[in-house]
Amino acid sequence: MKKLSIADIAKHLHVSKTTVSFILNGRAQEKRIGREVVERVQKFVDEVGYKPNPLAKSLRTGKSNTIGLMVEDISNPFFASIARLIEDRAYKNGYKIIYCSTDNDTAKTRDLISMFRDRHVDGYIIAPPEGIEDDISSLVKAGMPVVLFDRHLPNVSTDFIEIDNLFSTYNATRHLIQQGYKKIAYITFANNQTHMLARLEGYHRALGESGYESFVKEIDFNQNDDLITAPIAAFLKKNKNLDAVFFGTNHVGACGLKAITELGIKVPTDLAVISFDDYDVFKLFSPPITAIAQPIEAIADSVITVLLNRLNTSSQHISSQSIILKTDLNIRRSSKTE
């Protein structure tokens, strides 16, 4: 019982493949195919559950109904959650997702982009690493719909979804200041991407307004958590005079908490803590950690909506749009509460 092809359907019903194809693609009216024929074909197709072979369809039409999703690390809860939501919406709209993790590695990303290209994906959703501008530009120039998220590339003109990073850290830092903290450190990954720079800038701006000194520690990104935890621990050990610390990402935050725990530092008595991104670890730590929560649903929703729009409206001449979303500061007991 092998799969039926459109030719089988046509033969069985004594009509041509063309007729069947037109009917299945809703062009019956336009092609003025008789009502009786349309009904006969529809009925039979439903009956045997015929589905066109998507490969053949893709080959002919050039559309693959596939979206390529590239994130930094799919096992990071932030990206995993977004992927999950995007996946759901994509499937509902007849698109499937193929995904991969870039590890923020430019060369790997380049390879992956070219792989996606070979696979004829219809559109790209990318959290781009540094140094990938040219590759993305050439995608865009080739007329490919590309939506960036989490960060953007200033010199590439394409759609992107971001959060208000600068204001988020500014606001959170102000919060610490208002609680009376004066020696506030900022620990983050060494990284020059828009979102990370903006976060750092927000921190600096808040401190600057109050005339406070800044303490920034940049950690090299590493797959091995121990190599993130160790330098944080060393930094905290060396700077005993700090009264608060701000972690720039969820991953740094988690490793930072590990360091804090290992050093036996008491939160918030010895040190107040705040982190970018929010997830279980922060909610369940004791005391629970104040964190900047990104609007995951809104991000995923915006991303897929923008991309689907591009995919459906063939006119490529809509100017690229950027959406900036707000974050929430979830205040918990990791700092003085007055």
Partner DNA sequence: GGATGTCGATAAATCGATTTAATACTGTTT
Partner DNA sequence: AAACAGTATTAAATCGATTTATCGACATCC
Which residues of this protein are in contact with a copy of itself, per CB under 8 A?
51, 53-56, 58-59, 64, 73-77, 80-81, 83-84, 87-88, 91, 96-101, 115, 118-120, 254, 257-258, 261, 280-281, 283-286, 288
Query: Which of a copy of itself, DNA, none binds 325 (CB below 5-8 Å, type-dependent)?
Result: none
Distance CA 157, CA 142 (A): 13
- CB nearer to DNA: give 66 or 188: 66
- CB nearer to a copy of itself: give 80 or 234: 80
Name the one range near DNA by CB under 7 A: 47-55, 67-75, 131-139, 188-196: 47-55
Distance CA 234, CA 228 (A): 10
Distance CA 12, CA 87 (A): 38
To 10 degrees, the CA torsion angle through 45, 46, 50, 52? 80
Query: Which of a copy of itself, DNA, none binds 7 (CB below 5-8 Å, type-dependent)?
Result: DNA
Residue 299 contacts residue 163 (beta carbons within 8 Å) = yes
Which of 44, 57, 189, 301 is close enough to bind DNA by CB under 7 A?
A: 57
- CB nearer to DNA: give 313 or 337: 313
Query: Which of DNA, a copy of itself, none binds 15 (CB below 5-8 Å, type-dependent)?
Result: DNA
Q: Which amino acid is at 66?
A: T
Helix intervals (H) in the chain: 6-13, 17-24, 35-48, 54-61, 77-92, 106-118, 133-141, 165-178, 194-210, 226-238, 250-263, 280-284, 296-312
Write the interaction track for DNA spanning residues 254-273; mark x where CB under 7 A is met and - where it is not: --------------------
Query: Which of a copy of itself, DNA, none binds 285 (CB below 5-8 Å, type-dependent)?
Result: a copy of itself
Q: Which residues, listed in sequence order, are joined to residue 218 by a DSSP beta bridge? A: 188
- CB nearer to a copy of itself: give 91 or 322: 91
Tokens 């406070």 identify what position? 212
* # residues contacting DNA (CB under 7 A): 30
37 near DNA, rule: CB under 7 A: yes
Query: CB within 8 A of 191, min separation 6: which ones?
Result: 104, 130, 218, 221
Query: Which of DNA, a copy of itself, none binds 43 (CB below 5-8 Å, type-dependent)?
Result: none
Tokens 């394409």 identify what position? 158
Query: Which of DNA, a copy of itself, none binds 300 (CB below 5-8 Å, type-dependent)?
Result: none
- Token pair, residue 34, equals 């008789």
Distance CA 240, CA 235 (A): 9
Write the interaction track for DNA spanning residues 96-135; mark x where CB under 7 A is met and - where it is not: ----------------------------------------
Q: Do you know the residue count of the chain?
A: 338
- Where do contacts with DNA occur on this chain (CB under 7 A)? 3-7, 14-19, 21-22, 24-25, 31-34, 36-37, 51-53, 55-57, 59-61
